Amino acid sequence: MNVVCNNFIGGDLIPAKSAQFTPVYNPSRGEVIAEAPESDAKSVDQAVRAAREAFPAWADTPVVERARVMFRFAHLLEQNFDELARLITREHGKTPEEAKGDVRRGIEMVELACHAPTILMGQTLDQVARGIDGRVERHPLGVCVGITPFNFPAMVPLWMFPIAIACGNTFILKPSPKVPLTPMRLAELLAEAGLPKGVFNVVHGGAETVDALLKHPDVAAISFVGSTKVAKYIYEVGTAHGKRVQAAGGAKNYMLVLPDADMDATTNQIIGAAFGCSGQRCMAGSVAVAVGKAGDPLIESLDAAAKKMRVGPTDNGGNVDMGPVIDGAARDRIKSYIDVGLNEGAKLATDGRGVMLTELSGGFFVGPTIFDNVSPEMKIASDEIFGPVLSVMRVDDLSEAIARANQSPYGNGAVIFTRDGGAARTFARYVNCGMIGVNVGVPAPMAIFPFTGWNQSFFGDLHIQGHEGFHFYTHNKVILSRWNDPGKRVLGW
């Protein structure tokens, strides 16, 4: 019997009154393992009410005590590390190593939240005017909401709620209905860490649930990660209803390869960037731009490496390099893009449609796919495919390569592979995106730095992660004080 996920509201598991459910698959086998309900506006209101009622006491809880909850939560995440990784592999299809990376990067965010007492320290200036002292304090916003995608079941929720909660807010998580099991386990561990009831809540659902959260008058802030189309919608609707919003969207990340690059190291980095997590991440390297004489050696090296990759089920501890994509719809969409690329005239150097698996299963597989001679006007060069498809372009020089990258409407990451420091500096300065890699295939920043997408990859002012995350979940209060000072007479001043 499949598990039916309940909402987690006010510290209790509450069934959602719904006739609509989303199947949760084990992507390695194509088997349904759970169901996630579509929560209606009444369920959303119940969660918001629980979070609103818990807010005053939690906001008044000393920040050092809030940090202690995060310390205990981090300890529990470490204790249950392998279990969480296995859960991610089961419901998402990541390889065991990728799943462990998902959990590890999430724990780093909890560790950052443990620093809240230091990061939230305000500013003071005595005698800012005659007899007047000034100070700045940071205060929580209220009820905050996180809407998260399927591709990182642990890390992306942990991008959001640890900092929000450490800042004194209460939180409602609306996870992807495709991967609800990991977020529910995080809720259990938070409760075990001693978080008061109502401070953290989970509601499952899709578009109807999201709209109810966006429009609820008692929600103060919305954090979102997903496609650009939905990110823009979240930002526009959320801000129209008076919410503070940070909405991270999609990407088309360019990787420039200069002729002087270390080809073996570059190949390893590009293979990992393009095909890690089966290409299902907004920091995936999806376009490689070969500059000058780098073209032929790069294609030969990438094709050879891609054909050596072991593709197969990830849920049995097997030694594979790449697992399935999330479901059958994703598999079919990715394969349709391969057909589009062929029809547009790109050369298919490595075809992943008929990949030989390490083990036969009913899972959702597409193998590593590489196109050569891709031009900017092709859909495979412009659309976020969100799968293991790499497009290779060829240009004459660095200036043309930067111009190609800057044609993209997105702005998450861009990478250069070279031994030339001047070329790397020029690239980093003039490429139009927020996260830069120099001989680093996936320039996703650590928790202490903000995740700085630009252009159509981000809507809002304050980014996820780092100190910007703390600023997003708090607002400033400036206090000016004047007191008569009898001490001057006492001390003879």
Residue among 189, 208, 205, 181 at smallest CA distance from 2: 181
Q: Quick one: pLDDT at residue 318? A: 76
Q: Quick one: pLDDT at residue 19? A: 78
The DSSP H or E segment spanning 235 is: helix 228-240
Contact call for residues 363 and 93 (beta carbons, < 8 A): yes
Q: Count of H helices and E strands in the chain?
A: 17, 21
24 bridge partner residues: 34
Q: Which domains does the chain have, with CATH numbers?
A: 3-250+453-479 (3.40.605.10), 253-438 (3.40.309.10)
Q: Quick one: pLDDT at residue 87? A: 98
Q: Quick one: pLDDT at residue 4? A: 83
Length of the chain: 493
Residues tagged active-site: 282
226-to-64, 220, 369 alpha-carbon distances in Å: 33, 20, 23
Q: Quick one: pLDDT at residue 488? A: 61
Q: 480 burial class (0-12, 13-18, 19+ CB within 10 angstroms)?
A: exposed
- In the chain the first and final C-alpha atoms are separated, in Å, by 82
Contact call for residues 181 and 204 (beta carbons, < 8 A): no
Contact call for residues 221 and 472 (beta carbons, < 8 A): yes
Q: What is the pLDDT of residues 338-394, one digit of tens each?
A: 999 999 999 999 999 989 999 989 999 999 999 999 999 999 999 999 999 999 999
Q: Quick one: pLDDT at residue 317? A: 81
Q: How far apart are CA 301 and CA 299, in angstroms?
A: 5
Which stretches of the chain drop beneath a pLDDT of 70? 1, 487-493
Contact call for residues 270 and 252 (beta carbons, < 8 A): no
pTM: 0.95
Residue among 251, 213, 248 at smallest CA distance from 461: 248
Q: How far apart are CA 313 and CA 363, in angstroms?
A: 7
DSSP 8-state code for residue 294: G
